[in-house]
Amino acid sequence: MKIIYSILGLLVIAFFAVAIYLKPADTPRSGDAQPDKQGGHVAEKEYGGPQPPTSGDHADPVESGPYTEEVADVNTLHNLEHGSIYVSYQPDLPKEQVELLTKLLFPPYSVDDFKPLEVVLAPRKANDAPIIVSSWNRNMKLQSYDRDKIIEYYKTNVNKSPEPQAR
């Protein structure tokens, strides 16, 4: 009986060793890495700066969706902590590009096989690029609307955060 248990034990160990060895590598994430500033919960905090913060202290999250007014960085940071994507744009971005972003990211979707869920889209005066796509510890700056880059960024960065899918 000891031999059977020993064989079974070796088989279990071999199974897990093979499973770990064959585990697919993580897909490389799009965008530029940013410093991890951790993040605690606070009532308020001012951020500003040429790009949205991608980690740090934060307040309550905002509802996912398109906004026509600025959303405070301290709030969007909480969305990022939960794995969401934040797409901010300079207020003078051409209306056609804002419409393309909205149709790409929210129903009725403009791309049949791309239906993102947790996204905040809002203007942001302080941006140093026309469009900045942000997630926890990463961002990508765009000079104009680029459907394929935004889709790739979303797919490789959504839920890559300390509290993914915590809603």
| Residue that is written with structure tokens 């971005």 in the block | 93
7 is written with which tokens?
Answer: 């064989």
Considering its fold, how many domains does the chain have in total? 1
Q: Is the pLDDT of residue 41 over 80?
A: no
Domain-embedded: residue 152: yes
Domain-embedded: residue 166: no
For residue 123, the enclosing domain spans 3-157
Domain-embedded: residue 45: yes
Q: Tell me the pLDDT tens digit for each residue of 3-23.
A: 775 665 555 565 554 554 554
Q: Residue 122: what residue type?
A: A
Q: What is the mean pLDDT of residues 81-104?
A: 97
Long-range contacts (CB closer than 8 Å, 24 or more residues apart) made by 147-154: 147/100, 147/104, 147/111, 149/30, 150/87, 150/101, 150/104, 150/105, 151/104, 151/111, 151/114, 152/30, 153/30, 153/31, 153/85, 154/85, 154/114, 154/116, 154/119
Q: How confident is the model at residue 34 (pLDDT cuts 50, 70, 90)?
A: confident
Q: How confident is the model at residue 143 (pLDDT cuts 50, 70, 90)?
A: very high
